[in-house]
């Protein structure tokens, strides 16, 4: 249920995802879930959140420059079947990454299963920072990854 998610910035260029996935594959590490987003949208979200909660330290020109530079990178979030080994491999190959606990669960692949769990979280006042998931076939379950703002409380709800 609670798993370690690895987040890293990867150069937004042809072949970079292949290099990362081959590196993990060569170490016998399977990627269980993966999401990729343009880092500029991620940086924009950070700036908007920062503007609402904390006084800005840098000038608008500095923020715009950072936003432009971030287009050269993609934000990768992934779960692996062996996060400790993945962390070791990424460290040895000089990747800059962060780890954080997330909740990964199997949901029934049917209309409403995601709605049921997110409704429970919403009624408990738990905000979701982001969610990603996938289905491998119509007859299988779905793997969904949740990043709640209150991991402990969300974990209790997922156990119900």
Q: Which two tokens stand for residue 12?
A: 């937004």
Segments forming the whole domain that contains residue 121: 2-159
State the burial class of residue 39 (Cβ atoms within 10 Å of its Cβ: 0-12, 13-18, 19+). buried
Question: For residue 91, what pLDDT is reported?
Answer: 95
101: domain CATH number?
3.30.2130.10
Determine the Cα–Cα distance for residues 42 and 29; give it in Å rounded to an integer: 27
- pLDDT single digits (tens) 139-151: 788 899 999 999 9
Total count of domains within the chain:
1
Cα–Cα distance, 138 to 39 (Å, whole number): 32
Q: Which of 65, 102, 95 is nearest to 80 (CA)?
A: 102
Dihedrals phi, psi of 79, to nearest 5 degrees: -115, 140
Using DSSP, state whether 57 is helix, strand or coil.
coil
pLDDT of residue 134: 82
pLDDT tens digits for range 18-50: 999 999 999 999 999 999 987 766 555 555 555
C-alpha 87/C-alpha 95 separation (Å) is: 9
Do the beta carbons of residue 78 and residue 34 sit within 8 Å?
yes
């Amino acid at each position: 249920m609670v798993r370690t998610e690895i987040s890293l910035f990867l150069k937004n260029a042809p072949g970079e995802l292949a290099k990362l996935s081959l590196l993990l594959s060569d170490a016998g590490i399977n990627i269980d879930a993966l999401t990729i987003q343009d880092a500029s949208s991620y940086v924009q979200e950070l700036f908007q959140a920062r503007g609402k909660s904390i006084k800005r330290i840098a000038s608008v020109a500095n923020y715009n420059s950072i936003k432009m530079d971030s287009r050269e990178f993609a934000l990768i979030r992934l779960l692996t079947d062996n996060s400790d080994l993945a962390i070791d491999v990424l460290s040895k190959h000089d990747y800059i990454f962060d780890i954080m606990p997330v909740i990964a669960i199997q949901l029934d692949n049917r209309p409403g299963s995601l709605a049921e769990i997110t409704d429970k979280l919403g009624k408990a006042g738990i905000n979701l920072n982001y969610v990603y998931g996938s289905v491998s076939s119509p007859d299988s379950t779905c793997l969904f990854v949740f990043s709640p703002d209150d991991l402990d409380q969300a974990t209790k709800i997922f156990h119900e």
